Homo-oligomer: A and B are copies of this chain.
């Protein structure tokens, strides 16, 4: 098995990005319309090959994001999601892709870049249900990304990353409901959040969010990164949305 002059094979490495955000209380994922073959015209995750053999994966991820969607996301924290190496996932040959996950606050509509004919936010439901078909194995990547986001919401203070610099507890609840795909009791949620030490900090006085109702207090992200004890996600019910009552 070990010839004297055996050379290991070189592989094409790519990165793919799952960028999640909340719009109108629904979870959305950033997709681009592919401008080149293969899958030209199909929806796909932003991403692409390394530019040169010394480029790091995160650097490539940031670069592709900037190229394909002009979003100014310097501060975006990319979390490694996984490696996708199924032979045959790319018709061009063996391409191994490293997927990254990022959670973004309400972002502006992106505009198209170089390789992508169009870029925009799409509701994740459409992707999960298969109503919206994606190129390559990107549907699986999105599925994995959402699942990862779900568990991260349980154990880390990530939810605040979905919100702006200040937010209300109801905003936070919207995040949990959208990502977990179920509704929660506002009163129990309120209690749980406020009891979790260091999760959120008061930020100024109340302000109205909706046109009506009692104005909610404002908070900002606290120092705590890891939630202990964790937020416990209620057991999933067979039918989609879980009623709070």
Contact = CB atoms under 8 A, between A and B. Distances in A.
Interface of A: 1-2, 8-14, 49-54, 56-57, 67, 80, 82-83, 85-87, 93-94, 96, 98, 114-115, 151, 155, 228-229, 232, 235
Q: Quickly give the copy total for this chain.
A: 2
Contact of A10 (B12, B82, B151, B155): B12
23 contacts: A2-B114, A2-B115, A8-B13, A8-B51, A9-B13, A9-B49, A9-B53, A10-B11, A11-B11, A11-B13, A11-B50, A11-B53, A13-B13, A54-B87, A56-B85, A56-B86, A56-B87, A57-B83, A57-B96, A83-B83, A85-B98, A228-B235, A229-B232
B94 A53 contact: yes
Contacts of A67: 1
Contacts of A8: 12-14, 49-51
Nearest to A94: B53
Contacts of A86: 56
Contact of A54 (B1, B83, B94, B151): B94
Contacts of A9: 13, 49-53
A98 B83 contact: yes
A83 B60 CA distance: 14
